[in-house]
Amino acid sequence: MGKKLKFKKKTLADLKKGESGRVVKLHGDAVSQRRLMALGVVKGKSIVLEDKAPLGDPCICTILGYRLTLRNSDAKNIVITSP
């Protein structure tokens, strides 16, 4: 019948400038997960990595129409899919 699309699962920290993905899951402790969800990082939402600081930390991403700056330790807890 139909072919299943295969998606690569990776974290937001794995993206390069200009790449995007869709949030699949949040890792980390409950407090960190709650904080990320309060910032709009929720399952199913599209997220784009806009830029990274010169030394790589933090990263700037766009989600829900606004820019969000995250530490790499937080970005590694955001699992995304990208085709």
Dump pLDDT digits (tens) for 47-61.
Answer: 999 999 888 789 999
User: Which domain range does residue 56 map to?
Assistant: 8-82
CA neighbor of 42 nearest in space, from 24, 21, 65: 24
Residue 1 lies in a domain: no
Q: Mean pLDDT across the stretch 35-49?
A: 93
Asked if residue 3 belongs to a domain, the reply is no
- 2 within a domain of the structure (yes/no): no
Number of domains in the chain: 1
Q: What is the predicted pLDDT for the residue at 3?
A: 60
Q: For 68-74, what is the mean pLDDT? A: 93
Helix runs in 1-83, H state only: 30-38, 72-75
pTM for the model stands at 0.83
In a domain, 68, yes or no: yes
